[in-house]
Amino acid sequence: MSRIVITGNSAICAAGFDPSTIVDTLIAGRSMFAPCASWDTEKWPNGLVAEVLDYNGGKLLGDRKLLKLVRRSDVFGIYAGTQAIEQAGIPAYTQALDEAVAAQYADQTGCYVGSGGGAFEVSYDFFPLMAESGDSLETFGKELSNTVNPMWLLRSLPNNVLCHVSIRNRLKGPNGCITNHTTSGILAVVESAWALREGDAQRVVAIAHDAPIEPQTLLYLDRVGLVSKGVLRPFDSRHDGCLLGEGAAALVLETEASAKERGATILGEYLGGGDASEGEGLFCIRADGDGLSRAIEFALNDAGLVPADVGMIVAHGNGTEQSDASEAAALRHVFGQDMPPVTANKWSIGHLFASSGLVDIAIGLEAARRGVVPGVANLEQLAPSCAGLNVAQQTRSTRSDVVLVLCRGFAGTNAAVLLRAVR
C-alpha cells in the first residue's frame, strides 16, 4: 500500500487563524473563553464561549458578495479549505499545466467535508413573521416571500463548503458531505484516505467546519446537563461539563507519487483510522469506554501499529464527567501503564462540534512536528475516575512522531485517526 502524505494543514478557531498560532496559544496556557458577543447571555446559566476574534467574513472569504449565500460556519470552512490547498501548492502547480492535463488533474482531485447536519439559526428568519401572524397560517403564507431572505435555502444547505471549495479549485474527483455529529470532521479524513487507497483519487481535500454558538444549541445542551457551570476542565476533579467554540480545519492528503510530482513539502503521513458506535442511546456512554477502545484498536490495526508506537494522544476531553471517565477507561484498556503523553484542547478553544476532530488533528500534527505535547493548563487535580491517565498541566515532549487523535459524539459515536508527523 502506497503512503498517504499530508501536504496542507490549516485551522481557524478562537485561538488563532492557523495551526502554528493555535499551538502557540495552547503552549502559553491561554484560555480563549469570554462572554458571548453574539447575543445577550446575562440571564443564561453560563455565557462563556470561545468565539473567533476579529471575525470578518468578507476578508476570510476573499469575496464579500458570497456572504449573502453562506453562513458563518461556511465562512470558516471555505477559509480553512482554501488555506490548506494554497499551502499544498496546488493552485500554482495547476495554473502551469496545459488545459487537457489540468482537466485530468481536476478529475483526480476530490473533496470530503464534515459539517453539522443543520443549525437552529436557519429558522430564526421566520420568527418575526411568526410573531406577527399569531395563529393565522394564511397570513404567514401570504407574507413569507416578503419577509424571509430569498437566499434562505441556499444559505441553509449543509454542503455549501463542499460546493464552493470544489468549484473555486476545480476539485472534480470523488466528494461527499458527512454529517455525523461531532465525528463528522474526523470521518471526512478517514473517507479521504480510503478514496486514495482505492485509487478513486490522487489527492483529496478534507475539511470540517461548525459554528454551534447559538441560543437554542446552548439552551438544549444546558437542559440535558452538558454545559459547565464554570469553565471547561478536561479530566480534572472539578470537571462538570463542556463549553462551545467555533471554527474549521482542513488537510490536503495525497498519494506520495502525487506529492513528489509537484515537489510539495510533506508535513506528515496518514497511517490509519477507525470508528465504532456503542449505539445504546442518544446520551448514553458506556463506563468502560468500549466504543472508543474499539475505534482506537481499529485505527492501530489499520495502520499496522501497536500501542507502544504512539508518541502522543490528543484526547476528546470535553470536560463532562461521564465522557472523561470513559475516555480514561478506554485509554487505560488500550495502553495500560505504558501510556504516551495525553493532551486535550477544548479547555482553551471549546467544543467545536462537527469540526472538533479535524481541528484537533491540525493542532496535533503541528505540535508533533515541533515534538511537543501542549499541557492542559487548567488541570489542577486529576479526577479519581481518570486515574492512570498520562495528562499534565505543563508542556512535554512527544515520545515518537506518531499522533493519535480521538473524537466522540452523541449516540455513542467514536473515531480515531493515527498520523506520523514529519519534522
Q: Which superfamily is assigned to 4-118+158-421 in CATH?
A: Thiolase/Chalcone synthase (3.40.47.10)
Asked whether the beta carbons of 419 and 368 are under 8 A apart, the reply is yes
Across 162-174, average pLDDT: 95
Task: Give the pLDDT score at 45.
Answer: 81
Asked if residue 1 has pLDDT above 70, the reply is no
Bridge partners for 12 per DSSP:
248
What's the chain's average pLDDT? 94
Asked whether the beta carbons of 350 and 49 are under 8 A apart, the reply is yes
Asked if residue 117 has pLDDT above 90, the reply is no
Q: Specify the range with the lowest mean pLDDT, choosing from 57-71, 195-209, 264-278, 327-341.
A: 57-71
Across 187-196, average pLDDT: 98
Residues 277 and 290: their CA atoms lie apart, in Å, by: 9
Asked whether the beta carbons of 51 and 213 are under 8 A apart, the reply is yes
Across 168-182, average pLDDT: 94
Task: Give the pLDDT score at 243.
Answer: 97
Asked if residue 359 has pLDDT above 70, the reply is yes
| CA-atom Rg of the chain in angstroms | 21
Domain ranges of the chain: 4-118+158-421, 122-153
pLDDT tens per residue, range 266-320:
999 999 999 999 877 677 788 899 999 999 999 999 999 999 999 999 999 999 9
Residues of the chain with pLDDT > 90, as a percent, come to: 78
Residues 399 and 377: their CA atoms lie apart, in Å, by: 20
Asked if residue 339 has pLDDT above 90, the reply is yes
Task: Give the pLDDT score at 385.
Answer: 97
CA distances from 300 to 15, 176, 329 (A): 30, 25, 17
Residues 24 and 16: their CA atoms lie apart, in Å, by: 9
Asked if residue 25 has pLDDT above 70, the reply is yes
Q: How many residues does the chain have?
A: 423
Asked if residue 362 has pLDDT above 90, the reply is yes
| 84 phi/psi in degrees, rounded to 5 | -65, -40
Residues of the chain with pLDDT > 70, as a percent, come to: 99
Q: In the block, which residue shows the cell 500500500?
A: 1
pLDDT tens per residue, range 221-272:
998 899 999 999 999 999 999 999 999 999 999 999 999 999 999 999 999 9
Asked whether the beta carbons of 6 and 259 are under 8 A apart, the reply is no
Residues 389 and 327: their CA atoms lie apart, in Å, by: 9
Asked if residue 68 has pLDDT above 90, the reply is no
Residues 347 and 55: their CA atoms lie apart, in Å, by: 21
Strand 413-421 and strand 268-277: the pairing is antiparallel
Q: In the block, which residue shows the cell 453560563?
A: 46
| Closest to 88 in 3D by CA, of 197, 165, 34 | 165
- What pTM, to 2 d.p., does this model score? 0.95
Across 357-365, average pLDDT: 98
